[in-house]
Amino acid sequence: MLHHIRNIARRRDQDGASAVEYGLLVAGIAALVVTIIFVFGNTMNKSFRNSCGRFSAGASASNTSTC
| 60 backbone dihedrals φ, ψ, rounded to 5° | -70, 160
Q: What is the spatial distance between Cα 14 and Cα 42, in angstroms, rounded to a whole number?
A: 43
Question: pLDDT tens across 41-57, in order?
Answer: 888 888 888 877 677 66
Q: What is the spatial distance between Cα 59 and Cα 67, in angstroms, rounded to a whole number?
A: 11
* Cα-only R_g, the chain: 27
Go through the chain and tell me how many residues it has.
Answer: 67
Query: pTM for the complete prediction?
Result: 0.48
pLDDT at 65: 54
pLDDT at 29: 97
Q: What is the spatial distance between Cα 67 and Cα 11, in angstroms, rounded to a whole number?
A: 57
